Structure 1
Amino acid sequence: MNLLVSTDWLAAEMGKTDLRIIDATLFLPAMARNARAEFEAAHIPGAVFFDIEEVSDTSNPLPSMLPPAEKFASRCQALGLGDGSRIVVYDNSPLRSAARVWWMLNLFGAHEVAILDGGFGKWQAEGRAVESGKPIVRHRHFTVWADKALVRDMGQMTENLRTKAEQVVDARGAGRFTGAEPDPRPGVRPGHMPGSRNIPYSALFNEDGTYKPPAEIKALFDAANIDLSKPVTATCGSGITAPVLAFGAALLGKTNVAVYDGSWSEWGAHPHNPVVTGA
């Protein structure tokens, strides 16, 4: 299974006993939309809803932080996701939140995970079948595992300012990165980490929500002076869109891009962390 699968491919594979489909739609509060309600109104047949906000470390004041491995495995089992499953993730969100769940699944030990190119929007635009309601699933075993090589914390990001061992690429929009726009979170300063580069996650997509061809994605990394032959860590506002850049790099063959889970909602809120404004 490729990392990126088409709607034609998914339609042809539906019904296979090892295939699992996840709706990973997430909206910000300001969007005034309810992802679970929209899922129950219409989703790809056989899909289950992955609640990113709930499958998180809910004891952490930061948004949508990674949950303990045991919680992640438990939630996956309840969704019918298990060892040996081929998993296709999609979303219907401007945040392209399928990439967050793709990253989480890889971090917690799933072996075959793909993203549906164009997501639910493309599926619907093509007039393909949808269903409504809550799916009935059978629990499956999901082995507890966590590959912490794919995640960074604030201490590691601070140490990287000294060592410069890893390139840091920021997925936020240019206005947020430069500090020209205020951060939407109270108490979070605008700007970016010293030495980080900017590739807005939205730049990786065509107008129809499909990913751009690999050559165009590679050109984005090149333009930001990110060398994919060297270590890379992605960051964003709250850890949701940074995985889009990690996925884009994976499409180019670099599958080990780490994500700073706390991202700017953590970094920019700490008064002692250095912050840079401007391009």
Structure 2
Amino acid sequence: MPKKISTAQVKDLLYDENVMLIDTRPVDAYNGWTLQNEARGGHIPGARSLPFKWSLYIDWIEIVRHKGIAPHHTIVVYGYQLKHIQDVAELFEKAGYEEVFTYSFFIEEWVNSSLPLHVLERFDKLVHPEWVNRLLKAEEPMLHIGKKVVIIHAHYRNRNAYLSGHIPGAVDMDTCALESTETWNRRSPQELKVALQQHGITSDTLVVLYGKFQHPDNADAFPGSAAGQLGAMRCAAIMLYAGVKDVRVLNGGFQSWKEAGYEISKRDEPKQPVLDFGVDIPALPHLFVDMDEARRMLASSNAELVSVRSWAEYLGEVSGYNYIEKKGRIPGSVFGNCGTDAYHMENYRNPDHTIREAQEIEELWRQANITPNKHLAFYCGTGWRGSEAFFNAWLMGWPNVSIYDGGWFEWSQHSNNPIEKGEPILDNA
């Protein structure tokens, strides 16, 4: 049986590299939301997010090992519910972990004190299903603290994904409304203005975006069709650039809404256009860089282009897309490691498609010398994966992050741009 541990003992173990604190609460509570009306939100510094519901997954132990939680570690499990804490602790023991403790005083003693808690810097921009449901059930539906709310179901040329089931009150937005189908870059300021107004969005609108997970019908499907959240984050990034002041994304997308058991609608909600967006577009031009700025960043010691692509794309073994002929990478770019291919972002996602915890993303980036003290521009093939990585950094509060919108698609089309293939040569000077 797992042993019990006190608050004083947990405090003494903080920052011990041989100890792994395990937070069994939902990822949204870990990020900073107070899901049970506790006095403060966040997690114990250094704790790993390992929600109880993941313990029901058949590959639970692979998730644990992927997080770097090894059998030699001392395990301390805490959370909301004692049964969940005990169940997860017992799973660790069954998996061969010898030093396993349960900590059951997290809410009662840790939260209700001045002991440290860490939160995701902009956790409130990564919302959870209950929060969205409260919007829908408000006395004045689709208003939040006096602001108009628009919920967007993002998709790429697939209204059937919306019509087959969506969050009540949500309107659909094809990503092509905000990006060109010729270049896959964001559309012009005037085009963005028209598109946003048509969807009822002004600069003061609170916009909640989400996507729906779908398996692509064939290997030539557009990047992101296998995970609709990519489209939601792409739209979110462009809206921030345009000047929407309050952009939020539903963590885990439609899947999290469905798992929470909330109502699902098939009504084709009419859009309610507005007359004026309210500010000049782009209000935040620095959130996107174009090719000339990308070249300048490559020459700067205070900037990095981050290639959010697969290793095979980075090496130049594949282009990643059926419509991109050239293979390779931008010389001098650093590897941001999206996952297996152009259609997946598993290195930035949890098993349930929620956003991976910030400290794990930071560890991934630190290995590539991607740090918050530089100007970072994330790119991929056409901007989708780069937008998701950017959104991670933005949520983390990193101060100077952008998207190189043209990405590999644009860079590879210009014959005067250098291309590099093979294993990168590291500068050890």
Same fold judged by TM-score > 0.5? yes
Amino acid at match of 1:89: L
Work out the CA distance in 1 between the residues paired with 2:295 and 2:393. Answer: 23
1:138-169 deviations in Å (ceiling 9; x for gaps)? 22231232032111112222233333442111
Contact kept? 2:161, 2:212, Cα under 8 Å: no
Work out the CA distance in 2 between the residues paired with 1:180 and 1:247. Answer: 28
Shift of 1:244: 0.8
Q: Which residue of 2 aligns with 1:234?
A: 378
Contact kept? 1:238, 1:263, Cα under 8 Å: yes
% of aligned pairs identical? 26
What is the aligned counterpart of 2:246 among 112, 137, 142? 112
The reply to whether residue 50 of structure 1 matches residue 173 of structure 2 is: yes
What is the aligned counterpart of 2:183 among 42, 62, 69? 62
Q: 1:261 to 1:182 in 2, by over 3 A?
A: closer
- Between 182-191 and 102-111, report the one with greater CA deviation: 182-191
The reply to whether residue 25 of structure 1 matches residue 162 of structure 2 is: no
Amino acid at match of 1:10: V
Amino acid at match of 2:170: A
Q: Which residue of 2 aligns with 1:196?
A: 333
Contact kept? 1:97, 1:241, Cα under 8 Å: no
The reply to whether residue 122 of structure 1 matches residue 248 of structure 2 is: no
Work out the CA distance in 2 between the residues paired with 1:91 and 1:162. Answer: 37
Higher relative contact order, structure no. (Cα contacts within 8 Å, ≥ 6 residues apart): 1
**Contiguous gaps of at least 5 residues in structure 1:** 27-33
Work out the CA distance in 1 between the residues paired with 2:161 and 2:362. Answer: 34
The reply to whether residue 100 of structure 1 matches residue 234 of structure 2 is: yes
What is the aligned counterpart of 1:223 among 336, 344, 367? 367
Shift of 1:242: 0.4
Shift of 1:194: 1.2
Contact kept? 2:209, 2:236, Cα under 8 Å: yes
Shift of 1:222: 0.9
Work out the CA distance in 1 between the residues paired with 2:234 and 2:324. Answer: 25
Work out the CA distance in 2 between the residues paired with 1:171 and 1:248. Answer: 12
Shift of 1:186: 4.2
- Between 239-248 and 69-78, report the one with greater CA deviation: 69-78
Q: Which residue of 2 aligns with 1:30?
A: none
Contact kept? 2:178, 2:235, Cα under 8 Å: no
Q: Which residue of 2 aligns with 1:272?
A: 416
Work out the CA distance in 2 between the residues paired with 1:91 and 1:231. Answer: 29
Instruction: Report matched runs for 1:238-257 at 5 Å.
Output: 238-257=382-401
The reply to whether residue 2 of structure 1 matches residue 97 of structure 2 is: no
Q: Which residue of 1 aligns with 2:271?
A: 137
Larger radius of gyration: 2
Work out the CA distance in 2 between the residues paired with 1:191 and 1:180. Answer: 7
TM-score when scaled to structure 2? 0.59
TM-score when scaled to structure 1? 0.89
Amino acid at match of 2:169: G
What is the aligned counterpart of 2:300 among 150, 159, 163? 163
DSSP-derived class of the 2:398 partner: coil
1:35-59 deviations in Å (ceiling 9; x for gaps)? 212112211111111111233345x
Work out the CA distance in 1 between the residues paired with 2:173 and 2:400. Answer: 23
Shift of 1:88: 0.9
DSSP-derived class of the 1:167 partner: strand
DSSP-derived class of the 1:163 partner: coil
Give the root-mean-square deviation of aligned CA atoms: 1.9
Q: Which residue of 2 aligns with 1:178?
A: 315
Q: 1:200 to 1:97 in 2, by over 3 A?
A: farther
**Contiguous gaps of at least 5 residues in structure 2:** 1-122, 214-226, 339-344, 424-429
What is the aligned counterpart of 1:89 among 198, 205, 209? 209
Shift of 1:100: 0.8
Contact kept? 1:188, 1:265, Cα under 8 Å: no
Q: Give the number of equivalent residue pairs.
A: 269
Q: Which residue of 2 aligns with 1:39?
A: 162
Q: Which residue of 1 aligns with 2:285?
A: 148
Work out the CA distance in 2 between the residues paired with 1:176 and 1:4. Answer: 30
Amino acid at match of 1:151: F
Q: 1:175 to 1:226 in 2, by over 3 A?
A: same
